[in-house]
Structure 1
Amino acid sequence: MRDTLLAPLICATLAATLLAMFIMKVVSSYRRSFIAEIGTSLKQNFLLTNPRSLFLMSSALTVIAGSLALALAGPVAFVTATIASLAGPWLLAKRLAARRRMQFVYQLPDALLALASALRAGCNLMRGLELMASRQPAPLSQEFSIVLAEQRVGRPLAESLDDLRRRVGAPELDLMNTAMNVSRRVGGNLADTLESLARTLQEKAHVEGKIDALTSMGRAQGWVVGLLPIFIGLVLYAQQPERMSLLFTQWYGWVVLTIVAAMMAVAAWMIRKIIHIDV
C-alpha cells in the first residue's frame, strides 16, 4: 500500500520540480532579454531609468493583472491580461523610439538648412556640425553630439554617421550621409546639396502631413471598430452577468472569444494596411 502511494507522490514531486525549473529558466531568459533590449532602447532615447527596476515593476504588474483577471473573469482573461502585461513594456519602448524618430525627421530639414548656411559663411563641415549640435533642439542635438564626441576621439566621420543612421532608423539620413561622404572624398558644393536635400525633405514632410490628415478618419474608424465590441460586451455583462459569464467559464465561450479576438485583429491589420501610405 505504501509503495503504491509512494510512486505517484514521487512522480508528482519530480514533475513539479521540473516544471519549477522550466519556469525559472524561462523567467531568467525573459529577464536577461528585458534588461538588455529595454535598457538599450532607454539609452538610445536618453531616458535615465534603471531597466532592472522596470523589470520588477513589470513583473509585479503582470502578477497583479493576471491574478485579478483570473479571479474576476476566468482563464481566458488571465492569459489575455498576462500577455498584455508582458508585451506592454516592449510596445511602450517601440512607441517611444518611433516618436523620437519622427521628431528627428521633422527637425532634420531646418538643421540641414542651418548647416548649409554655416558652410556658405565659411565654416568647415565639423564646425557646422558643432553649431548644429549646440543650437538645434533635442533629439537632433543629442544625436549629433554623439557624432561629434566620436569624432573627437578619432573615429572616422563616415562610421559615426552610419551609426547615427542605425540608431535613429530614419531613411532620410541615407541621403545626408551620402552627400557628406561624397563631398569629403571628391569635393563639390556641399552647401547647395544640403539645401536641395532640405527642401526635398520639407516637401516630403508636407505630403506626409496631408496624408495623415486625409487618413485621420480611417484611424478614428479603426479605433471605433476595435473598441465598440468591448463596450457592448461590458454593457451586456452589466445587464446580464450570469449569461455573459458563460463566455469566460465555459469552453464554448472561450472559443467564441478566441474567434472574436482573431477577427478583430485581422480587421485592425486590414485597416492599418489601408491607411498606411508610404511616401
Structure 2
Amino acid sequence: MSGGFPLTLGATQIEWLLIALPTLGMLVLFMLLFGGSPVEKQTRRRIDRIRRTNAPALTPQQAVSIRRADNESGIAVLDSLVRHLVPRPELLRLRLSSAGLKTTLAKYVLISFLLGLTTFGLLMFLKLVVPLVAVLTALGTAIMLPHLIVGFMVARRRNKFVAHFPEAIDLMVRGLRSGLPITESIRTAGAEIVDPVGIELRHVTDSVRLGAKLDEALWDCSRRINIQEFNFFTVALSIQSETGGNLAETLSNLSDVLRRRRQLKLKIKALSSEAKASAYIIGSLPFVMAILIYLVNADYIDDLWYDPRGPFLVGLGFLSFAMGIGVMYKMVKFEI
C-alpha cells in the first residue's frame, strides 16, 4: 500500500511509543491529582458562594469536614475498578490514613499503575532485560514501591506521635487539675500540640461533638494509628469512666511511664547499633564482591551462570544468606 499508513511498526517507532506511553500516563496522573474532578470543582464553587454570603468566617475545609465521601475519586470507571480489583480495600484505606495521607484509594492505585508502566517503558527502551522480566519487574515496582513508601511514612508518623504524646497528656493533666472536663482537656491538647498528635486528638473531639461516645472515638483513633502508647491512654480512660478515680493522677503516671518507655527504646537502639552495622556490612559483602569480580574478570564469574551446578549453588547461597539475616534481625529486635 503506497502512500498509506504502515501496518507494521519499526524498532524506532516502538521505542518512541514506549517513551510516549509513560509520558502520557504521567500527564494523566498530573491532571487527575491536581486538576480535580468536575464534581469536586462544582462543590467547592458552591461552598465558596455560601461562605461569601452566609458564613464569612467559615473556611471551605471546615464546611466539608462533616460531609461523607460517597466516592473515591469522582471517576466512575476508576472507582469501579478499585472496588472489584483491590483485595481488602478497607485495610489499604486504613494504612493510608495511618500515614497521614489524604489521597484516595483510587488515586493510590492509579499512581501504582503508572509507576509500573513507567518502569516497563524504561526497561524496554534501554533494552536491559527481556520483555517477560520487564513485565515482572514493573509489576513488582507497582506493588512494592508504593507499599514501602507508605510504610516508611507510617513509621515516621508513629515515631513523631510517640515523641510528642507525653506532652499532650501533661496538658490534659493540667486541664483536669484546673477543673476542665476530659473532653475539653483533649480539645485543648489537640489545639496546642503539633501534628500528628494534635490532628488525631482533634479527630477525637470532632467525633464527640457529632454524637459519638468518648471511648468509641478513642478506640477508633487507636485502630487508625495502631500505637501501644495510645492504647494505654485509651484503656486508662475507659477503665476510669467505669470505675471512677483520680483521672489526673492516672494520666500523670501514664505520662511518666511513656517517657521511661521511650528512653528504654532509645537505649536499646544505641546498644544494638553496633550489631546492626555489622549485619549491614556482612549482608552487603556478597553483592559487593560479586560486582567487583565481574568488573575485574567477567569470564571468571560467568561460569557461575552457565555451569549447570551454578544456579543450585546460587540458590543455596541465597538460602543461607536469608537464614543469617533472619537470625541477626532476631538478635537486635526487642519488644518492649
TM-score, structure 2 normalization: 0.66
Question: Contact conserved, 1:66 with 1:79, CA < 8 A, in 2?
Answer: no
Find out whether 1:170 has 2:227 as its counterpart: yes
The answer to whether the 8 Å contact 1:247/1:254 transfers is: yes
Q: Is there any run of 5+ residues in structure 1 with no aligned partner, and where?
A: 1-26
Q: 2:234 is aligned with what amino acid?
A: N
Match of 1:47 among 91, 97, 101: 101
Summarize the Cα distance change of 1:232–1:64 in structure 2 as closer, same or farther, 3 Å threshold.
farther
Residue 333 of structure 2 aligns with which residue? 276
- The 5 A counterparts of 1:194-233 are 194-233=251-290
Between 106-115 and 63-72, the greater mean CA deviation after superposition: 63-72
| Counterpart check, 1:114 vs 2:179 | no
Q: Is the 8 A contact 1:34 1:55 kept in 2?
A: no
**d(CA) in 2 for partners of 1:121, 1:77:** 65
The aligned amino acid for 1:92 is I
Residue aligning to 2:56: none
Amino acid at match of 2:215: A
Q: What's the CA shift for 1:246?
A: 4.2
Three-state SS of the structure 1 residue aligned to 2:279 is: helix
The letter for the 2-side match of 1:47 is L
Query: 1:206, CA displacement in angstroms?
Result: 0.7
Could you tell me whether the CA contact under 8 Å between 2:116 and 2:141 is conserved in 1?
no
Comparing both chains, which one has the higher relative contact order based on Cα–Cα distances under 8 Å and sequence gaps of 6 or more?
1
Post-superposition shift, 1:118?
1.1
Give the alignment of 1:85-234 within 5 angstroms. Answer: 86-234=143-291
Q: Is the 8 A contact 1:65 1:82 kept in 2?
A: no
Name the CA shift for 1:99/1:43 in 2 (closer, same or farther; >3 Å): same
Alignment partners' CA distance in 2, 1:178 and 1:227: 44
After TM superposition, list the pairs within 5 Å mapping 1:257-276 onto structure 2. 257-276=314-333
Q: CA deviation at 1:90?
A: 2.0
> Cα–Cα, structure 1 residues 250 and 103, in superposed 2: closer, same or farther, change >3 Å?
farther
Aligned pair in 2 of structure 1 residues 111, 28: CA closer, same or farther (>3 Å)? Answer: closer
Aligned residues: 253
Residues 146-203 of structure 1 deviation map (CA, whole Å, 9 limit, x = unaligned): 1112111111111111112211111222321122123223322111110001001111
Alpha-carbon separation, structure 1, partners of 2:118 and 2:320 = 28
Residue-by-residue CA offset, 1:82-119 (whole Å, 9 max, x unaligned): 64663232233223222222221222211111110111
Give secondary structure in 1 for the equivalent of 2:86. Answer: helix
Paired letter, 2:270: A
Q: Which has the higher helix share?
A: 1
Q: Which amino acid aligns with 1:41?
A: R
Identity %: 23
Instruction: Report 1:12-91 matches (<5 A).
Output: 32-33=86-87, 37-49=91-103, 50-63=107-120, 71=128, 83=140, 86-91=143-148
Q: Distance in 2 between matches of 1:181 and 1:75?
A: 55
> Once the 2 structures are TM-superposed, how far is the Cα of residue 57 of structure 1 from its aligned partner?
2.9
CA-atom RMSD in angstroms: 3.2
Contact 1:132 1:141 in 2 (8 A): yes
Worse overlay, 242-251 or 177-186 = 242-251
Q: Conserved in 2, the CA contact under 8 Å of 1:109 and 1:198?
A: yes
Is the alpha carbon distance of 1:28 and 1:205 closer, same or farther for their aligned partners in structure 2, counting shifts above 3 Å? closer
- Between stretches 165-174 and 69-78, larger displacement belongs to 69-78
Which amino acid is 1:172 matched to?
A: E
**Structure 1 pair 199/183, CA: closer, same or farther in 2 (3 Å)?**
same
The CA distance in 2 between the partners of 1:72 and 1:244, in whole Å, is 19
CA distance in 1, matches of 2:160, 2:210: 28
Give secondary structure in 2 for the equivalent of 1:138: coil
Quote the Cα distance in structure 2 between the aligned partners of 1:125 and 1:192.
13
